[in-house]
Structure 1
Amino acid sequence: MPHTDTTSDVSGSSLVIIEASVETAEAAQALGYHTIFVQRPGGLVEELLDDHALLHSVDLGDEDFPRFVDRVLRPLSPTAAVALDEPGRASAGIVNEILGVPSEVAVECARRLRAARRDRLGPGPAVVRNPGEVGL
């Protein structure tokens, strides 16, 4: 089945988030994605489950992970799989490859999720590279 790009309107779209932090999970839900959390057992997002979220606890490094993707995630037809933190990026890549998600779709979903997380957390601490830039 060919993959369709649904990044322009996320309402009703499903997004697989690998190893989500609570902040990332909240940002995805704020964007209107139906969220599918895939994490190692004991992850942080269990408290955020609602009618629009699913949680799968799996060993991301297990040799059966690709079979899990094919049997469990494929029928859910997610738009993409993303991981905003390094530990989950390889697994997100595996999911997207198995599901035939174009890389530009996954990149755009990750970009939107990063922006939403940043908006929810507010600006980080200011970094002054050159004191003259801020009038000091």
Structure 2
Amino acid sequence: MTSDTAPTPRLVVIGGDPALAASARSLGCSLVNLQLPGSPVEEYLAPDENYYSIDWHGASFKRFVDAVIRPLNPVAVVSLGEDSLTAVAAANDLLGLPGLQLTTINAFDALYSAHDSMAVSQDDARFTAAMFTVEGTHRMIGIVEHDPDARTPGQVSLPVSLTDEHVDALTKQISTLLNGLKLQDGPSTTEFRVDLNQTVVTRVRLVPPARDLCAVIHAETGIDLERWALGWPMGLGGPAVDEAATTTPDANEEAGQ
């Protein structure tokens, strides 16, 4: 007699933490946790989960993926840490999995090699824009403004100083940049300033914003960017292609400001 129950899909998470692991489990997956040697995992490792201590920056990582991860037959390899994105792309390339690809990592590295002397004025308005890409279509999820007068470093507020025209122009500008990076799917975070009505991009990252910024966006839009970022390679937790083709209203419009 055979069981009709489908096996639980395995999701490889590189460099996770308790909150990230909880979000990944909510997708209905069994986790395979990869951590750098010496990193604590006991506080969030579930009894039935795999755990491996591996230096994903080392030359042996590809051999580890082929010998250890491939037999586990994972459905996706993901991470929300910038230092492990190259490892994610390398694993996806080796295993033929959807998700971040080496072509995007190479284009990203080339971009920053060409702009490594970019300076940011702390007196300019600073913003963070979160976007999500599905099959090459880039969707603006939300924008938050860093409050220069905040007593707590990193405090954010709604982007009351941006007009609808600013948001439309910014969406087009970032989309052009992401096209140049060959980003086909997944999250991206763009930091920028507005100087004499000109938008100057100062940094692009291929991960969701920091958690405090994600919380602001979640409160305004109802979108959990970390969950989307973990689930999209499996077709879970992210927008459909037709949804990605539409632009989410900015936070001012959402709040009726």
Is residue 2:157 matched to residue 1:127? yes
- Larger fraction in strand: 2
- Alignment length (residue pairs): 109
Is residue 2:103 matched to residue 1:71? no
What is the alpha-carbon root mean square deviation over aligned residues? Answer: 2.8
Letter in 1 for 2:157: V
Name the CA distance, whole Å, in 1 between partners of 2:91 and 2:43.
Answer: 24
Name the CA distance, whole Å, in 2 between partners of 1:27 and 1:11.
Answer: 20
Letter in 1 for 2:42: E
Based on CA coordinates, which of the two structures has the bigger radius of gyration?
2
Normalising by structure 1, we get a TM-score of 0.68
**1:111 alignment counterpart:** none
Is residue 2:66 matched to residue 1:36? no
The structure-2 alpha-carbon separation of the partners of 1:103 and 1:135, relative to structure 1 and needing over 3 Å to count, comes to: closer
SS of equivalent residue, structure 2 residue 13: strand
| Higher RCO structure (Cα 8 Å, ≥6 apart) | 1
**Structural mapping, 1:11-50, within 5 Å:** 12-50=8-46
**1:6 alignment counterpart:** none
Instruction: Tell whether the 8 Å contact from 1:12 to 1:33 is kept in structure 2 after alignment.
Output: yes
Instruction: Tell whether the 8 Å contact from 1:11 to 1:32 is kept in structure 2 after alignment.
Output: no
Structure 1 runs (4+) greater than 3 angstroms displaced: 133-136
Name the CA distance, whole Å, in 2 between partners of 1:11 and 1:82.
Answer: 20
The structure-2 alpha-carbon separation of the partners of 1:27 and 1:56, relative to structure 1 and needing over 3 Å to count, comes to: same
SS of equivalent residue, structure 1 residue 48: coil
Name the CA distance, whole Å, in 2 between partners of 1:11 and 1:20.
Answer: 23
Gap runs ≥5 in structure 2 = 1-5, 101-132, 135-154, 162-251
Gap runs ≥5 in structure 1 = 1-9, 109-124
